[in-house]
């Protein structure tokens, strides 16, 4: 169970917050008091300490008995609540701590100043592209990527998503980062602490077919590590004359400044991959614990991997230019393999934002490093990229990269200027088109949470992608995210017509019954391996007349005043896995019709299959939707020739934005009862098995930009 202690430290007289103080929380016990956590107050004097049940371990203890201490950065005590212990603390406790003006002034402490700002223009301007060739196709693609993001960091996060699970050692994001590195500015020094993220790794300099399918290191990194990465930044400090003489000697010109640097690593609780990785790195590289002050201010727990940093020519043949070199290879630094073969290189690509490349020596590795040897001797190869950013960027990084576990105290700026309007027609991508008077199960509080998520994400597609990413990672059938999707669907509008072609994307499966044992989303878990076999790309809608409707429904579906549609799912057969799926479906006798040449040329799909009848103004079959009106996809009519499980399926959609539809995957769970439209719906025991999207071409382009469910795009 998660517990939180929040509050504010403020001056008694003015009620202004006090930044930069260390707040520690303790669980008071008979033998000794256990530390629950320590943080630094942020720029407004606020603090938040989060901990779980494992932090208090006294026998038979149901809840902790908490008190706080407040200390200066130098460790002098200012305040304690140990005389007013909160026994059996609630999961969330709040404190308001007041310290007199005289006490603060005696310690040289000041109340909070208004936070500084970072202009939104800074977050969205790649200064390295100034003066770039306007005919450079790769540069123009980067500009297009940036136009679809709210910041450069968000664009880089999109690149991370594109690289995940990709075996191509030269995938488009790698080529784009290579161009940014080529155009970046060389600088002379950095100072202090910088958070960092690694968008993607490569498996050296592979060529030919090996490059296209051989990036095993990057595949493992993107599939397993990237979201729980232990590494979270670097720090730089001036190198003393004696240290410089000992580390680099005369190998660096006297007029070039040399800095000493170190890397930082973070343990993420409840992330087994992270815990295993930090344990391995601690053993291999002899990582050392960070100080309490470092943990409170920056959040990282381990330090290691020393380097000497200075301006120098690149050691990599692919980047013949000057760079800011981070050299781990000097023997005096005391590093351990593979760091003893590593040289990082950095350039500046925006104000306060730096792109780095990771280079490892692959030849003469048994020799002691000679900094004066010919660079070709060590045959450096390229193993990926990383980003570092100055503290002003932390406000944006905290939003985008939660795995950094950045304390509030590290966020010292606010973003100035209006929210970024992302390419295309901004209103379309940021406006939910919901029913004025909801006709389904709409929880107003949850709908407000959805709107908050939309504000944080920047547009609807990014919000839905964040929902999908969360569900696909946690693999739970019960989640607040499912609650939000349920509310959003019920707040949507039932479409009256669906014409032409809509692209499709899966948000998440939601297992039911035996498939949901212990709330485990087993279908989602299985989908991680089987999704590569799925050829689905979208749905095609063709309006039909009354005679055609009677043909496909054996007269069981009256035409009435509403239009009817004979519809299909569209599929592609590009990869070997998709072609295998085609062979299996043909063997199973699935009805399939080839796409026309015009359809294939315009939309890329190869065939139509798994047909259904589409009708508006239907009532949702799920009782939890409380009679909501929807647009229905009925796969159950016998003449459609569908096979299990699709012949037990009736899907539903609602419009949630202009050209964007949220769908429910619904299956009957009583497979023994023959389909009859006159049978009461509840007898078939329909259950919700997941959420999907249908979208027009503008939404599809946006989905491509951010890397949302790209397996068959």
Mean of the pLDDT values across residues 45-70? 78
Mean of the pLDDT values across residues 286-303? 91
Q: Which residue has the higher pLDDT, 148 or 585?
A: 585
| CATH code assigned to 2-106 | 2.60.40.10
- pLDDT score, position 627: 95
pLDDT digits (tens, 9 = 90+) for 347-395: 999 999 999 999 999 999 999 999 999 989 999 999 999 999 999 999 9
Range with top average pLDDT, 110-124, 457-471, 485-499 = 485-499
Q: Is the pLDDT of residue 60 over 80?
A: no
Smallest Cα–Cα separation from 693: which of 442, 461, 429, 458? 461
Ranges for all domains in the chain classified under CATH 2.60.40.10:
2-106
pLDDT digits (tens, 9 = 90+) for 402-425: 899 998 888 989 888 655 544 444
Mean of the pLDDT values across residues 606-626? 96
Give the rounded distance of the alpha carbon of 218 from its chain centre. 17
Q: Is the pLDDT of residue 204 over 70?
A: yes
- pLDDT score, position 56: 63
- The percentage of the chain sitting over the pLDDT mark of 70, rounded to a whole number, equals 97
Beta bridge partners of 7: 47, 95
- pLDDT score, position 523: 92
Q: Is the pLDDT of residue 253 over 50?
A: yes
Q: Is 201 helix (H, G, I), strand (E, B) or coil?
A: strand
- pLDDT score, position 93: 92
Mean pLDDT taken over the chain = 91
Q: Is the pLDDT of residue 59 over 60?
A: no
pLDDT digits (tens, 9 = 90+) for 137-169: 999 999 999 988 889 999 999 899 888 878 999
Report d(CA 671, CA 75) in Å as an integer.
Answer: 68
Q: Which residues in 266-339 belong to E strands, given as ranges?
A: 288-289, 302-313, 322-327
Report d(CA 489, CA 653) in Å as an integer.
Answer: 8
- pLDDT score, position 426: 59
Report d(CA 403, CA 198) in Å as an integer.
Answer: 12
- The percentage of the chain sitting over the pLDDT mark of 90, rounded to a whole number, equals 72
Report d(CA 407, CA 289) in Å as an integer.
Answer: 18
Q: Is the pLDDT of residue 63 over 90?
A: no
Q: Is the pLDDT of residue 494 over 70?
A: yes
User: Which tokens hold the place of 405?
Assistant: 């576990």
CB 284 within 8 A of CB 13: no
Cβ count within 10 A of residue 337: 10
pLDDT digits (tens, 9 = 90+) for 636-655: 999 999 999 999 999 999 99
Report d(CA 639, CA 649) in Å as an integer.
Answer: 15
Mean of the pLDDT values across residues 35-53? 87
pLDDT tier, 456 (very low <50, low <70, confident <90, very high otherwise): confident
pLDDT tier, 518 (very low <50, low <70, confident <90, very high otherwise): confident
Mean of the pLDDT values across residues 655-677? 94
Mean of the pLDDT values across residues 450-458? 88
Mean of the pLDDT values across residues 52-56? 69
Q: Which residue has the higher pLDDT, 46 or 43?
A: 46
């Amino acid at each position: 169970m998660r517990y939180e202690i929040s509050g504010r430290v403020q001056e008694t007289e003015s009620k202004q917050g006090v930044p930069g103080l260390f707040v520690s929380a303790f669980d008071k016990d008979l033998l000794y008091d256990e530390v629950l956590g320590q943080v630094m107050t942020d720029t407004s004097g606020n603090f938040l300490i989060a901990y779980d049940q494992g932090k208090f371990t006294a026998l038979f203890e149901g809840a902790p008995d908490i008190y706080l201490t407040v200390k200066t950065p130098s460790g002098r005590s200012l305040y304690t609540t140990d005389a007013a212990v909160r026994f059996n603390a609630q999961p969330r406790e709040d404190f308001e701590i007041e310290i007199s003006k005289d006490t603060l002034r005696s310690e040289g402490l000041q109340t909070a100043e208004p936070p500084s700002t970072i202009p939104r223009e800074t977050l969205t301007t790649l200064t390295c592209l100034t003066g770039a060739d306007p005919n450079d196709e790769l540069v123009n693609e980067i500009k297009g990527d940036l136009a679809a993001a709210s910041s450069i960091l968000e664009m880089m996060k999109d690149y991370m998503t594109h690289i995940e699970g990709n075996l191509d050692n030269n995938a488009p994001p790698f080529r784009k980062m290579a161009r940014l590195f080529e155009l970046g500015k060389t600088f002379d020094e950095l100072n202090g602490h910088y958070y960092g993220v690694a968008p993607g790794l490569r498996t050296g300099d592979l060529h030919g077919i090996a490059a296209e399918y051989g990036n095993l290191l990057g595949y493992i990194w993107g599939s397993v590590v990237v979201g729980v990465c232990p590494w979270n930044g670097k720090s730089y400090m001036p190198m003393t004359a004696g240290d410089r003489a000992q580390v680099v000697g005369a190998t660096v010109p006297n007029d070039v400044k040399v800095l000493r640097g170190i890397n930082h690593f973070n343990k993420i609780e409840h992330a087994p991959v992270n815990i295993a990785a930090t344990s391995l790195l601690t053993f291999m590289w002899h990582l050392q614990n960070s100080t309490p002050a470092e943990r409170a201010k920056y959040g990282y727990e381990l330090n290691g991997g020393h380097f000497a940093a200075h301006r120098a020519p690149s050691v990599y043949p692919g980047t013949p230019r000057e760079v800011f070199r981070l050299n781990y290879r000097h023997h005096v630094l005391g590093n351990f393999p593979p760091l003893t073969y590593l040289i990082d290189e950095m350039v500046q690509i925006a104000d306060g934002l730096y792109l780095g490349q990771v280079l490892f020596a692959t030849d003469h590795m048994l020799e002691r490093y000679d900094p004066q040897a010919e660079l070709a001797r060590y045959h450096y190869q390229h193993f990926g990229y990383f980003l570092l950013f100055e503290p002003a960027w932390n406000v944006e990084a905290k939003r985008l990269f939660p795995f950094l576990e950045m304390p509030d105290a590290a966020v010292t700026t606010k973003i100035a200027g209006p929210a970024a309007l992302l390419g295309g027609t901004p209103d379309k991508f940021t406006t939910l088109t919901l029913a004025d008077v909801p006709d389904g199960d709409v929880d107003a509080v949850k709908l407000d949470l959805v709107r908050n998520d939309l504000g944080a994400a920047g547009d609807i597609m990014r919000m839905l992608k964040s929902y999908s990413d969360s569900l696909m990672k946690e693999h739970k059938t019960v989640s607040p995210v499912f609650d939000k999707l349920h509310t959003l669907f019920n707040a949507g509008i039932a479409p009256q017509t669906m014409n032409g072609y809509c692209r499709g994307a899966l948000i998440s499966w939601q297992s039911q019954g035996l498939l949901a044992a212990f709330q485990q989303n087993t279908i989602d878990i299985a989908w991680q391996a089987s999704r590569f076999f799925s050829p689905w790309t979208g749905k095609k809608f063709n309006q039909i007349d009354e005679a055609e409707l009677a043909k496909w429904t054996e007269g069981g579906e009256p035409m009435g005043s509403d239009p009817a549609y004979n519809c299909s799912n569209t599929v592609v057969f590009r990869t070997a896995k998709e072609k295998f799926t085609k062979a299996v479906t043909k063997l199973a006798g699935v009805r399939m019709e080839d796409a026309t040449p015009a359809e294939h040329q315009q939309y890329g799909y190869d065939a139509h299959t798994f047909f259904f009848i589409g009708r508006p103004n239907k009532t949702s079959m799920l009782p939890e939707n409380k009679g909501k009106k929807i647009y229905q996809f009925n796969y159950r009519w016998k003449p459609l020739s569908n096979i299990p499980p699709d012949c037990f399926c009736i899907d539903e959609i609602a419009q949630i934005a202009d050209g964007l539809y949220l769908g429910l995957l619904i299956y009957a769970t009583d497979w023994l009862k023959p389909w009859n439209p006159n049978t009461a719906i509840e007898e078939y025991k329909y259950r919700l098995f997941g959420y999907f999207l249908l979208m027009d071409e503008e939404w599809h382009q946006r989905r491509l930009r951010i890397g949302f469910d790209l397996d068959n795009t």
